Structure 1
Amino acid sequence: MTEQEARDFADVGKDMGDNVIRAAIKAARPIPANSDAITATPYAWRDPSSIPLRPWAYGRWFLRGTIACVVAPGGVGKSTMLAGTALALASGRPLLGKTVWDGPNRVWLWNLEDDMDELARSIQAAAKHYAVEPVEVEGRLFVDSGMEGSTLCTAVEDDSGFRLLLPVYDALTAELIRREIDVLVVDPFVSSHEAEENANTKIDKIAKAWGRVAKAANCVIVLVHHTSKAGAGEVTALSARGAVALINASRSTLVINRMEPEQAERLGIPQEDRRRYISVADDKANRAPAEKADWYKLVSVDLGNGPMDGHAPGDSIGVVEPWKVPDPFDDVKPGHLLRIQQLIDAGEYRENAQSPEWAGLVVAQVLDLNADDKADKGRIKQLLAGWLKEGALATEERPDKKREMRKWIVVGKHLQHTTAALEKGAARQGAAVEPQNLPHHHPPPVGVGGCGTAADKKIEVRQNRGAAGADDLDDDGDAIGWNDKPRTIF
């Protein structure tokens, strides 16, 4: 054996370097048999205006060719919400405040845990509430119940292992295309397969298979999912039970939440009624800007199916209707803020809502609110908080008459008495400004006598027009509410 023949791999490595040899071996690996070569495709530049719009089906929630998830705890109104959504889609009417793109859509509700009677109750209650006639959805609404034989299983896991039931996906795709379905709702997802729901690799395969169906049929697949038992508190996309792979594969994830006790108290809604208010938000808006939560109120609809030919109460079924969170600044005008600043500046008012000298009592009088009413008191607190945040009001700490340190509400930046300042929405934004030639905390004179505390007495305040012209102000608060005669302010 020659010296050259005796050289082994280690000798070559010493000469050329191990890294060089590894790179050469990696580059020399053959392409597997029966496989196409992998090639990179150069990007073809396009005119942005020629790119098709995203094919939305419903608001910015449901996008064709994708899967969407709805995540909610039991009993929150999920099925009620979906019944209203189905009617909105099939009728083409924005019943729940969402745009139905391209006119009426064909919708398939496939519920795997309720019977047809229960499904009909929800659908007909919503139809009765919104006056939807049969002709509006005829031929566009399809409903199946797993409890009545229309079962659905897309994957199994047995002794032979996990496998997708591809013939089922093929049959689903064919029926979706045949019926020209735009939106298929599967409720709940957990009942549509027999795989381990905590296994990410398996759930990912199921979700991706649903995605291929949505793409092939050019429809939206909505998979309704429950929250985990540990998902107490606010529901998010990550509250979904089982593997996170389902959420990762979806293009939108709607989460449904009940109103929190703190929010109900702030809005003056009795705690026994807060369960009627739910919010819906896309917690994974990765193809559109995240929308603010949409609020809905659950109302009861009597089906009229009671005994005595409907002369006695029948089934009372919940229906969702859009609801707007009250804005505490609704109907609050700049003149109201100026008047409140004047009275606070002339007296002494506490921050503490339990105090008989609470500044909120001034707000209540000026806005004709009842500080003893829970809803009004909640609104007053929000108004004060808004003005404090924006600087129209401020707090300072100083001793009271007993030399105990207290927090007091004082005027921050005075509201300018000019049309320009009033037109900037100062009442809402608290966009008060320091008036020229007007000392801080000292607005124009507020008339006869001192202005005592809220608990002391009513006073008569003569308000002069000051620097503002007659066209800038009126007697109803549309501007600053000044007038030329004595007026009971508090």
Structure 2
Amino acid sequence: MMENIVRQPAVRVRQYYPPESLAAIPCRPWLARGLILRRCITEIIGASSIGKSSLMAAIGLHLAAGRDFGRFAIPQRCKFAFLTVEEDEQELDRRIGAIASRLNFTREDFKGHFEVIEITRPATLVTVTRKGVVEPTNKLMDLEIQLANKRIDVVALDPLAELHEAEENNNGQLRAAVGYIRDMLYRVQAGGFLSHHSRKGITAPGDLDASRGGSSLGGLVRLAFTLTPATLEMAQFLGVDDDPGLWHNLVRLDQAKANALAKGAPTDWFRWQSIDLKNGPPGFSDHVGVLTPWQPPGAFDGVSVFRINRLLDRIAAGMPNGDFYTAWRRSPERWAGQLLMEDFGFSEEQAQRGLRVWMDAGLLFEADFVDQKGRNRKGLKVNDAKRP
């Protein structure tokens, strides 16, 4: 009997031909374009208390309502499930209630599309045996059943460190632990939204290696973003350094990995705003911070940090003949404003204003150099410490 059973191979090699028409290829299954893909993990990297949970909850509400979130287009309503182990039920009410109030969501926006995942402590989805073997727990299996039954489109897991027992600095264990979560998401056809703490110290915007623990995590996620606070240098660059009450409440979201997107995505800015819940006597009610999209008022609206740094590289390298650019139009052949006009599509006046902003912020400065004819001249240099 046994010898008559035909074993189905787990691996097969098949002939491939490219499609006859590119238009016939299905679009990528974006749930929030540029942010969340079905069957893939998006990682949000940031320091403790920077606002990862609040950002995920706000995005979850937009997914549930089918409402675009800033530049991230959401084509239709999605079923969103939120698993957070850092907040109890009442704190979750405060935080999500404040977000809904500030961003004008109604109870109808939640209905049938926003779920909260309850899990007993410890909330371990993946464990490690005494012999060091990484294994899924019954809780991960139960979660998979619940997500499948409810046909969840996006699940947020907050934070990663609380959901597994793997040694973070052990690449093999961490890869196996997150691999189990990724495989589960693939089986239920959901997009994963994962928050993860950054390493100690200053996190550079857009740095995938800022993620705490082994580097293997970066290979498992499809998209990754860093969430970092505004610095004084960035406030000067944006022209808001004279308003500490504003820029101390600004955070930026920068693309750190995006296999499914072109490079050079713009920086997304958010501002913390305090919401009074009015749930107590005057002066004693709770206040909750809510991240709201914020548009910089500066000269470089709509220009990504990637493109800005690429242009700064051109200025730093100097001209093909060895001379350096100048900020002054009286030397038109060396005027750096031409580069801004070429790369950013600026008018002459916009280019002049942009150079002035960079000079005032100390991002560009003049230094002596000797030109091709042996003359002492002044040219532009870039202060790398003040790059955006």
Give distance in 2, aligned partners of 1:283 and 1:104.
26
User: Do the aligned partners of residues 276 and 174 (structure 1) sit closer, same or farther apart at CA in structure 2, a change above 3 Å counting?
Assistant: same
Q: Name the structure 2 match of 1:115.
A: 88
CA distance in 2, matches of 1:430, 1:408: 8
Mapped pair 1:297 → 2:271: yes
Pick one of 348, 372, 384 that aligns with 1:426.
348
Aligned partner of 2:175 among 186, 190, 204? 204
Task: Check 1:49–1:265 CA distance in 2 against 1; reply closer, same or farther (3 A cut).
Answer: closer
The CA distance in 2 between the partners of 1:62 and 1:198, in whole Å, is 26
* Percentage identity across paired residues of the two chains: 24
Residue 71 of structure 1 deviates from its aligned partner by 0.5
Q: Distance in 1 between matches of 2:298 and 2:200?
A: 34
Instruction: Determine if the alignment matches structure 1 residue 60 to structure 2 residue 34.
Output: yes
**Residue 140 of structure 1: CA displacement?**
1.1
* SS at structure 1 position matched to 2:275: strand
Q: Which residue of 2 aligns with 1:132?
A: 105
CA shift for structure 1 position 296 = 1.0
Instruction: Using the TM superposition, give the Cα deviation of residue 111 of structure 1 relative to its aligned residue in structure 2, in angstroms.
Output: 0.5
Structure 2 distance, partners of 1:79, 1:38, is: 40
Residue of structure 1 equivalent to 2:226? 255
Q: Pick from 31, 41, 56: which aligns with 2:14?
A: 41
User: Corresponding residue for 1:144?
Assistant: 117
Q: Structure 2 vs 1, CA of residues 235 and 60 (structure 1 numbering), >3 Å: closer, same or farther?
A: closer
CA distance in 1, matches of 2:194, 2:248: 24
Within 2, Cα distance between the matches of 1:156 and 1:205? 10
- The within-5 A match list for 1:331-480 is 411-413=330-332, 425-430=347-352
- Aligned partners of 1:215, 1:95: CA distance in 2, in Å? 24
Q: 254-263 vs 159-168, which deviates more? A: 159-168
Aligned positions, number: 313
Once the two structures are TM-superposed, the CA of residue 171 in structure 1 deviates from its matched residue by: 2.4
Q: Is residue 258–residue 278 contact of structure 1 (8 Å, CA) maintained in 2?
A: yes
Change (3 A) 1:206 1:100: same
The equivalent of 1:381 in structure 2 is none
Offset at residue 299 of structure 1 (A): 1.1
Residues 165/38 of structure 1: CA separation in 2 closer, same or farther (3 Å cut): closer
Q: How does 1:224-303 map to 2 (within 5 A)?
A: 224-234=195-205, 236-266=207-237, 267-269=239-241, 270-271=243-244, 273-290=246-263, 291-303=265-277
Q: 306, 314, 323: which is aligned to 2:294?
A: 323
TM-score when scaled to structure 2? Answer: 0.72
CA distance in 1, matches of 2:18, 2:203: 49
Q: Which residue of 2 aligns with 1:51?
A: 25
1:256 is displaced (CA, Å) by 0.4
Q: CA-to-partner distance for each residue in 1:391-441, whole Å, 9 max, x for gaps?
A: xxxxxxxxxxxxxxxx99673449xxxxxxxx983322359xxxxxxxxxx
Q: Residues of 2 paired with 1:151 and 1:263: CA distance?
A: 40
> Is the Cα–Cα contact under 8 Å of residues 124 and 164 in structure 2 kept in the other structure?
yes
Could you tell me how far 1:230 is from its partner in structure 2? 4.2
**CA shift for structure 1 position 322:** 1.3
Secondary structure of the residue aligned to 1:265 is helix
Deviation of the 1:313 alpha carbon: 5.6
Q: Displacement, 1:110? A: 0.4
Structure 2 CA distance for partners of 1:408 and 1:88, relative to 1, 3 Å? closer
Mean CA deviation greater in 88-97 or 75-84:
88-97
Q: Which digits, 9 at most, give the CA deviation of each residue in 1:197-245, with x for residues without a partner?
A: 1111111112222221121111111121001114555462111111111
Measure, in 1, the Cα distance between the counterparts of 2:277 and 2:287: 6
**Which letter does structure 2 place at the counterpart of 1:132?**
F
Q: Does 1:92 align with 2:66?
A: yes
CA offsets 1:131-154 (integer angstroms, 9 cap, x no match): 2110111121112356xx365312
Which residue matches 1:83?
57
Deviation at 1:127, TM superposition (A): 0.7
Separation in structure 1 between the aligned mates of residue 269 and residue 193 of structure 2, nearest angstrom: 20
Deviation at 1:190, TM superposition (A): 0.8
CA distance 1:166–1:410, change in 2 (3 Å):
closer
Q: 2-side partners of 1:315 and 1:265: how far apart?
A: 33
Check the 8 A contact 1:114/1:145 in 2, yes or no.
no
Q: Counterpart of 2:26 in structure 1: which amino acid? A: P
- Three-state SS of the structure 1 residue aligned to 2:257 is coil
**Relative to 1, partners in 2 of residues 1:232 and 1:50: Cα closer, same or farther, differing over 3 Å?**
closer
Counterpart Cα distance in 2 of 1:195 and 1:225: 14
- The residue type equivalent to 2:193 in the other structure is V
The answer to whether the Cα contact below 8 Å between 1:162 and 1:195 also exists between their aligned partners in 2 is no
Bigger shift: 177-186 or 44-53? 44-53
Residues 329 and 427 in structure 1, CA contact (< 8 A), matched pair in contact too: no
Q: What is residue 153 of structure 2 aligned with on the other side?
A: 182
Which of structures 1 and 2 has the bigger CA Rg? Answer: 1
Greater relative contact order structure (CA < 8 Å, 6+ sep): 2
Could you tell me which runs of 5 or more consecutive residues in structure 2 were left unpaired when the two chains were aligned.
Answer: 1-6, 302-311, 316-325, 334-344, 354-388
Q: What CA distance in whole angstroms lies between the structure 2 residues aligned with 1:139 and 1:206?
A: 31
Q: Deviations over 1:96-120 (max 9, x none)?
A: 442112x111111100112122222
Distance change in 2, residues 1:424/1:250 (3 Å) = closer
Check conservation: 2:61, 2:109, Cα contact below 8 A. Answer: no
**1:20 corresponding residue in structure 2:** none
Pairwise CA distance, 1:85: 0.9
